[in-house]
Amino acid sequence: MKTQLEEIIHQVYHKEKRNLFTFLTGAGISSDSGIPTYRGTDGIWVKGTRFHKPEEFGTLKYFKQHPEEVLQFSLFRKKMFEGAEPNESHFHLAEIEKMLQDRFHLITQNIDNLHRRAGNHRIYEIHGNNREIKCSNGCKEIVHLPEEIKGKNIDEDLTAKEIERLTCSHADNGCAQIFYGLMNIMMKRPIRNSVR
């Protein structure tokens, strides 16, 4: 397959009218790095968690009702990502980008940061990422997740300091922050310690 892909890239690269190359990736590319897919036999949405059903967990409604559970689970996923390393497929895409340069585009559903760690730069992260957060009320621009916010085991509670760091500095206006992908703009009130 690698030889076939190299031949296709070579043919298109040398055409008179050159095209852009766009690659699409999802959870499957990171499964070889030890990150479960969402719908596979060991998938996050198949198994769910002790606290929530997967089909309701990923919704704005659930986030508003159970913010700490969503944050806690997001920090569990963050720890999983931190322990994973890019695999051969990630590195192959980074090499293709070096060869194609500005004609390369990568669109990914993944929030695990493995494409960047492998060396890709031209990435469109359609579900966001686990490096940045944004106030749910829109009062601030996207900012980097504070370094002191670390990944957690699934059974670890959020600390008061973590809750403080994940709450927008404009919390008196009813704002807070969350960092996970599509949910990175959702929380509109300060979180309170309500889990367990």
The torsion region of residue 113 among left (phi > 0), alpha (psi -120 to 50) and beta comes to left
Least Cα distance to 181 among 147, 130, 122 occurs for: 130
167's tokens: 């709450």
Is 193 assigned a ligand-binding role in the annotation?
A: no
Cα dihedral angle (91, 95, 100, 105), rounded to 10 degrees?
Answer: 10
12's tokens: 């298109």
Is 195 assigned a ligand-binding role in the annotation?
A: no
Q: What is the 8-class DSSP label of residue 157?
A: P
The residue from 52, 92, 105, 127 that is catalytic is 127
Is 162 assigned a ligand-binding role in the annotation?
A: no
Q: Does residue 92 have an active-site annotation?
A: no
**Cα–Cα dist 136/124, whole Å:** 21
Which residue is it, tokens 């002191």?
148
Is 139 assigned a ligand-binding role in the annotation?
A: yes
**Cα–Cα dist 51/40, whole Å:** 20
Q: Which residues belong to the active site?
A: 127
Binding region for Zn(2+): 135, 139, 168, 175
Binding region: 135, 139, 168, 175
